[in-house]
């Protein structure tokens, strides 16, 4: 069982790395941003509720987000673990996730924090705006998302640091190199906290 969080500012490469790490570990990468965007595209009730927040670069309200994540973590493919990308982002979400984990008698394996300087973030997101055309990648909204990260999300990491499960990883440089750093960091945390998977020897009986 591997239960991971990946945190970091918008544009730090969380989504890209989450998919790679999750593939390697045979667990689903769960991106709240992707789920919201999918619902916006499909014009579901959830999408119609979320759209105005996303376009403004604001957080979707906790009650909506928490309910969505709780539902997702109850689906069958999560039995082997999960990698949450972009959740939690508020103190209320940290609390909600704790409740979900407690109910399942589970604990988090590791919290990965991707670090990229603000100047590079803005550059990356403006470049993405030109190619992907995400509605929230305008300069003004990017700055707002970055501010929100520093105001609301960054300090949440400290609570996980106290549990000895945080690994900070340099998110700059080649994508493959960042993936390697992340995998090594997960290994180090597991070795330190004693949560490496146990491989039993074969016996004759």
Nearest alpha carbon to residue 153 among 6, 26, 27: 6
Residue for token digits 């929230």? 136
Q: Is 145 annotated as a binding residue?
A: yes
Does residue 130 contact residue 124 with C-beta atoms inside 8 Å? no
Asked if 134 is an active-site residue, the reply is yes
Question: Token digits for 192?
Answer: 């330190």
Q: Select 2 or 93, whichever has its Cβ closest to ligand ADP.
A: 93
> Does residue 89 interact with ligand ADP by CB under 6 A?
yes
Q: Residue 169 forms beta bridges with which residues?
A: 114
Which of 20, 51, 124, 145: binder of ligand ADP (CB under 6 A)?
145
> C-alpha distances in angstroms, 136 versus 6, 56, 130, 157?
21, 7, 12, 25
Asked if 3 is an active-site residue, the reply is no
**Binders of ligand ADP among 43-82, rule CB under 6 A?**
53-54, 57-60, 65
Q: Is 93 annotated as a binding residue?
A: yes
Q: Which residues bind ligand ADP (CB under 6 A)?
A: 10-11, 32-33, 36, 53-54, 57-60, 65, 86-87, 89, 93, 136, 145
The catalytic residues are 14, 89, 128, 134, 145
């Amino acid at each position: 069982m591997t239960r991971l969080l990946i945190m970091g500012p918008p544009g730090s490469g969380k989504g890209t790395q989450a998919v790679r790490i999750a593939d390697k570990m045979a667990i689903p990468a769960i991106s709240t941003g992707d789920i919201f965007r999918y619902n916006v595209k499909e014009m579901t009730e959830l999408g119609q509720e979320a759209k105005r927040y996303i376009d403004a670069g604001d957080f979707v309200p906790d009650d909506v987000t928490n309910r969505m994540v709780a539902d997702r973590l109850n689906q069958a493919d999560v039995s082997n673990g999960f990698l949450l990308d972009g959740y939690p982002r508020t103190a209320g979400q940290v609390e909600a996730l704790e409740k979900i984990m407690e109910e399942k008698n589970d604990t988090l394996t590791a919290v990965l924090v991707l670090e990229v300087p603000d100047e590079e973030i803005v550059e990356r997101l403006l470049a993405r705006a030109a190619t992907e055309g995400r509605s929230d990648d305008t300069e003004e909204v990017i700055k707002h998302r970055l501010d929100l990260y520093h105001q609301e999300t960054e300090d949440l990491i400290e609570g996980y640091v106290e549990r000895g499960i945080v690994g900070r990883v340099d998110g700059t440089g080649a994508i493959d190199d960042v993936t390697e750093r992340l995998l090594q960091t997960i290994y180090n945390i597991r070795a330190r906290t004693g949560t490496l998977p146990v491989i039993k020897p074969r016996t004759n009986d």
